[in-house]
Structure 1
Amino acid sequence: MPIETRIANATPAVSVTARGETVPVGTSNADAADDPAIWRNAADPAASLIIGTDKKAGLYVYGLDGKVRDFLDAGRVNNVDLKDGVTINGTSGILVVASDRNDPLNAKLALFRLDPASAKLTALGTVAGGAGEAYGVCMYRDTAGVYAFIVLKDGTINQIALDTAGGAASGTIVRTMKLGTQSEGCAADDRTGRLYVAEEDVGLWRFDASAAGGLTPAKIAAADGKNIVADAEGVAIAAIGEAQGYVVVSSQGDNAYTLYRIADESYVGRFRIAAGVVGGTEETDGIELMLGDFGPAYPGGLFIAQDGFNAAGAQNFKLVAWNDIKASLGL
C-alpha cells in the first residue's frame, strides 16, 4: 500500500519539532542507524550521554550536543540498551548490552562497560542468545538480578540472566517466549514487571517480565493501520511515579509515534517529528525515552528517534524535548 494511503487512513497525529540531532553514523547511503539508549548524568544532566547503533559497523557514544564522543567497532549490532548501577568486575558501573548479529544463525548479546567520565566503551565479551538472527534487545532488573531480553527476527524472545560481577560477560537463558512473526522493538519496566514487545505487522504485546512469569502475552494494540501503521518498530517507556506513565511505539508505516497509558493500556494520542531547527523523522526504527532533567534544552525529559531519511545522506538520531510532546498532546 502506498505510504500516502496509509497516512490517509491513520489516526491524526500532532506535530513536534526536534531540538537537536546527532552527527550521522559513518555508514552512508544505507539503512544503518537503528537504535538509541540514554544514560542520564544525575550530577550534571546536560553531560548525559546517548549510545546509538550503526548496525553495519558498531556503537557510537554521543553527547547531548549530538557530537561523537566515542565509536567502538563492534560489527553488526542492531539494538542497544543499558542499566546503571550494575556490578561489573566488583564495582558499580553502567552496563551496555547490544544485540549482536555478526553470525545471523546464532544470536549473541555483546556487553560493554560505559565510562561516564571519558564516554568510552570497553568490551566485556559476548553471551549466547539462542539460535537465530539477533534483532531487538532491552534490559530488565528486579530483586532476582539483571536480565536482557533478546528478540530474534522470527519472534522468539529469550530472557537471559546476566552476570558481570567478575568482569567478563556471562549469561544463561532462563525463559523463552514466542510471537508469531517478525518482531524487534522491546522495553521492560522495572517498576511494574512488564515487558512490551512490538510484532511488526501485528501490534504491541505485553508479557510478565519475571523469569518465573507466564509465556502467554496480552495484546495491547493492533497494527490496524489507524493508531499503529505497520511496521510497529521501536518501543519506549515514559515512567511516571511508581506505576504510571506511557508506552510509546514507533508507527513506522506513517512516520508517527503512538502513546498508550500504562495503567489501563488505553490509547492516548499520536505525534510526528516535523522539520524545524533540524529535520524531521521518517521510517523510524529504534526510539528511547527517559524523563527527568537533561539540562536547559531538555528539562523534563528526552525522547530520541532514529531518522530513516536524514538529508545529510547518512542516517542519524533526532532529539526531542518530552515537554514539547506533553504540550502538543495536552498531557
Structure 2
Amino acid sequence: MTRSTIVRSTVLTVTTALAVAALAVPAEARHRPYADILPVVTPRAETPVLHDDDEGGNADADDPAIWRNAAAPDRSLVVATAKEGGLRVYDLDARLVQSIAAPPAAGEDDAPGRFNNVDLVHGLRLSSGKADLAVTSDRGHDRLRFYRVDRDRAGGPLTDVTDPAAPRVFSRDQAEVDDQRTAYGLATWTDPATGKSYALVSRRERTTVALLELLPTADGKVTYRKVRTLDLPSVFRLPNGTSWSPCAEPGELPQVEGMVVDPANGMLYAGQEDIGVWRMRADLTGTPKLIDKVREYGVPGTYDEETEECTPGTDPGFGGTRISADVEGLTLLTEPDGDGYVLASSQGDDTFAAYDREVEDANEYEGGFRVAAANDTLDGSEECDGAAVLNAPLGSKYPNGLLVVQDGHDAPGDGDRDATNFKFVDLGGVMDALDD
C-alpha cells in the first residue's frame, strides 16, 4: 500500500458482541429449497457468448453497468467487464457496440490485463466540460481506468481518459501487483453535500476496502487519491464461543467484490463473498453492520492442497436463510417515492435476494426471485457474478426499466469451453415478482 497517499486508515475491530448477538438458526430452516419456491422472471435478450480460453480470446463476462441516454433512452448502453477481454459495450438489443482491450500487465510474467468490475460516474467536471464516465478496476495494474461516454462518437462511445500517472490502489511495487492482490470490486459515489465523486474499491483475497477521491487533471484526464481504508473482519466469534474463518487457500482472506452505494443516505453495501452483506458509511467512517449472513456462515472446512478445494464439516446452524455463498453482484433498485431494494446475487443457489433500502427498517429482507430460461435458446442466469439495475424508462424496449445480470453458465454450452454472457431482464417483471 502506498502510505503517502493515505489521509487516514480506519481498521475495523469486530467485537465479540456483534457476532454473539446473532441467534443461531436451525439448519433445517436454513436449507429450505428457496430456489424452488421463489418467483421466476425471464430475460428478453442476451449478449453474444464469451469464452474464457485462448480460442475464444480469454474473455469472461463479469460485471455490468447501465448508462441511460437521457436525450434518446432507446439508445442507452450497457457497459460490462470481460476480465482479460477488457470492456464490452452493448446496445439495448444486447448487440455488441464496442470492444476495448485490457492493457497488458507490466510484470515479469507478462500477464494479460484484467478488468474486474465497472460502475458509472455522472457529470464529473473535466477541463473540457461535464462528462459521464465508466470506471473499471484494472486488476492487471492495480489501478482504476476511466472512459468518457459519448454515445455519438464515431469510433465508439467510450474514450480512455485515464491519467497515465494514476497511482496503484493497494500495491507498493510491481512485485505486489504480480501477487494479484490488487483492485477488485468497485462502486462509485458522489457526495451530494460536497459534489465530490469517489470510488470504493476492494482488494482481492483481502478484506480491505479503499475510498478514492476522483480528481480531474488539467489536460482532461482523471486520476484519484486515497482518502482512507477500512478492513472488514476475517475471523468471527460464533454464538457457541468459538472463532471461525471461512475455509480458503492458505494466506487468502474472505474478500469483498459486489458493492453499491445508496446516494440517498450515503450507505455502502458490500458483499463479503463467504460471509454476507455489510452496511457501512460510504466515507468508511463508523462501524459496519452485517445485515445478513450466508447459509454457510460458521461451517468449518478443511483445505485440500492437492484438489485445491475445501471439504465442509458439520453445519453448526449459525448462518442465514436467504443467501448462499458466494454473495456476488450488489445493485440498488430505487423507486420515485424513496422506497426500493438492495439486490444481491446469491451465487450458491442461483437466486437474487432483495432487502429494503431503508436503514430504519434494518434493511429487512423483502423477498427474492430467479432469472430462469425464457425458451429453449434463451436461458437464465446461473452462478451470477454481477448485476446492474436501472428503474427508469429506456424507450420502447424497456419502458419499465432494465435489470442486467451475468450468467456464469450460458447454455447451450460449447464442449469443454466455459461460456458466459449477460442477460437483459424487463424490470417490470422483477417488480411484479417482488410484489407477490
Residue 256 (str. 1) matches residue 351 (str. 2)? yes
Is residue 216 of structure 1 aligned with residue 251 of structure 2? no
- Is this contact kept in 1: 2:200–2:211, CA < 8 A? yes
Aligned partner (choices 25, 30, 46) of residue 21 of structure 1: 46
Whether contact under 8 Å (2:329, 2:387) holds in the other structure is yes
Please state whether the residue corresponding to 1:315 is helix, strand or coil: strand
Matches within 5 A, 1:152-171: 152-153=203-204, 154-166=206-218, 167-171=220-224
Amino acid at match of 1:13: L
Q: How far apart are residue 322 of structure 1 and its match?
A: 1.1
From 240, 265, 269, give the equivalent of 1:196.
Answer: 269
Secondary structure in 2 matching 1:128: coil
| Counterparts of 1:26 and 1:114, CA distance in 2 | 26
**Structure 2 SS opposite 1:46:** helix
Structure with higher strand content: 1
Q: Determine whether 1:272 maps to 2:370.
A: yes
Q: Structure 1 residue 112: deviation in Å? A: 1.4
In structure 2, the residue matched to 1:73 is 101
Structure 2: gaps spanning 5 or more residues? 1-29, 103-112, 172-180, 235-253, 297-320
- Give a deviation string over 1:85-105, Cα, whole Å, max 9, x none: 1113331111111011104xx
Q: Deviations over 1:270-316 (max 9, x none)?
A: 11111014211100001001101012232121111000001254311
Partner of 1:52: 80
C-alpha separation between the residues in 2 aligned to 1:325 and 1:165? 41
Q: Tell me whether 1:111 sits opposite 2:146 in the alignment.
A: yes
Deviation digits for residues 18-66 of structure 1, max 9, x if unmatched?
0111122364577811000110112221110000111012001100011
- SS in structure 1 opposite 2:258? strand
Displacement, 1:128? 2.5
C-alpha contact (below 8 Å) 1:36/1:80 kept by paired residues: yes
Aligned pairs for 1:80-159 within 5 A: 80-103=118-141, 107-118=142-153, 119-125=156-162, 126-131=166-171, 132-142=181-191, 143-144=193-194, 145-153=196-204, 154-159=206-211
Structure 2 CA distance, aligned partners of 1:121 and 1:296? 24
Cα distance in 2 for residues equivalent to 1:308 and 1:7: 23
Q: What is the aligned length?
A: 321
Does the 8 Å contact 1:26/1:54 carry over to 2?
no
Distance 1:66 1:49 in 2: 9
**Counterpart residue identity of residue 410, structure 2:** N
Counterpart residue identity of residue 299, structure 1: P
Aligned equivalent of 2:381: 281
In structure 1, how many angstroms separate the alpha carbons of the residues matched to 2:78 and 2:294?
29
Q: Kindly, what percent of the aligned residue pairs are identical?
A: 36
Q: Tell whether the 8 Å contact from 1:223 to 1:230 is kept in structure 2 after alignment.
A: yes
Which of these two proteins has the greater Rg computed from alpha carbons?
2
Question: Does the 8 Å contact 1:38/1:51 carry over to 2?
Answer: yes
CA distance in 2, matches of 1:151, 1:242: 31
Say which of 34, 41, 64 aligns to 2:62: 34
* 1:48 to 1:26, Cα distance in 2 relative to 1, 3 A: farther
How far residue 189 of structure 1 moved from its aligned partner, in angstroms, is 1.6
- Which ranges in structure 1 are unaligned for 5 or more consecutive residues? 1-5
The amino acid of 2:128's aligned partner reads: G
Question: SS in structure 2 opposite 1:319?
Answer: strand
